Amino acid sequence: MQLHFIKRSKLILLFTGFAMLASCAGLQTEDDANKLNQQGITMLNDGDYEGAIAKFKKAIQNLKLDRESKGTIYRNMAIAYHEQNTIDSSMHYSTLAAKCFKKNSYDYLINMASVDLLTGRTDVARTKLVKAASLNPDDLAVNNSLGLIYLGDYGEEFIELDKALTYNKKAFDLNGGRATQDILARTYYALGEYKNAELHYETVYNKYPQIAVYALNTGMTKYKLHKTSEAEDLFEKVLALDSSYRETIVLFKENNKPFLK
């Protein structure tokens, strides 16, 4: 089933799982690397990528960090650069992160798979991620990455929606954040399960009504459910937030006329 003009969340398409630094008695103070990392994660979630990168760069300078903690911060830096669409930097820091872990360990595989995805080697990335999932099936990062691959974000030839639902539902259950919920909603939409898609899209939109794409996706889903009045209200809100979506909405309606019958 083809997705009709549903827009991806701009946030966290590749790395939903923000790595968290474990508390470490060897750190200089409570206000050092761990606190800076947490501040960077908050900024990253809020879309302040420059601020997040600055926090991560300051955190990585802490001389008390062990290799795994450095790997955690390097991964977060890679995430922030990816969100800025600064792909070369994202690849660089993913590679540095991988080097902080034992080869073929879970964290090594996750970070190297990120590099593969950024360079278009999706099949190679999938092989690494499947191996990573066998090592740690309950981690957010591997479920998110595999879910996006099977949803078709890295090539239609990899679409397997039943698998996408399995991984993206697990990612949402583990994280519960707006990005994982948006991805889960997209998965339900792609499967034609519009009521489930509506539930999740509406939840995200109600929390972030200032983000046009969330209003758009909710409106499109309601349109599929014949809730045209609610859909039109949402489309108006989308255009008030960002008029560049006008053509997208027009084309969507044109391609979905049967849903009005």
Tokens of 128: 């690494």
Give per-residue pLDDT as tens, 30-48: 357 888 999 998 888 777 8
Q: How confident is the model at residue 137 (pLDDT cuts 50, 70, 90)?
A: very high
Residue with the two structure tokens 């960077």: 40
CA distance 210 to 205: 8
For domain 193-261, is the CATH number 1.10.3470? no
Say if CB 35 and CB 47 are below 8 A apart. Answer: no
3-state helix, strand, coil in the chain (%, to 5): 70, 0, 30
Q: How confident is the model at residue 259 (pLDDT cuts 50, 70, 90)?
A: low
Between the alpha carbon of residue 22 and those of residues 18, 58, 98, the distances in Å are: 13, 17, 18
| Burial profile 41-78: b = 16 or more Cβ within 10 angstroms, e = fewer | bebbeeeebebbbbbbebbbebeebeebbbbbbbbbbb
| Residues making up the chain, counted from first to last | 261
In this prediction, residue 30 carries a pLDDT of: 38
Q: For the residues 77-82, what does the mean pLDDT come to?
A: 94
Residue 250's CB is within 10 A of a number of other CB atoms, namely 11
Phi, psi of 22 (to 5 degrees): -75, 150
Q: For the residues 73-81, what does the mean pLDDT come to?
A: 94
Q: For the residues 229-243, what does the mean pLDDT come to?
A: 97
For the chain, what are the domain ranges? 193-261
Q: How confident is the model at residue 10 (pLDDT cuts 50, 70, 90)?
A: very low
What's the pTM?
0.83
Collapsing DSSP to helix, strand or coil, 116 comes out as helix
Tokens of 115: 């590099």
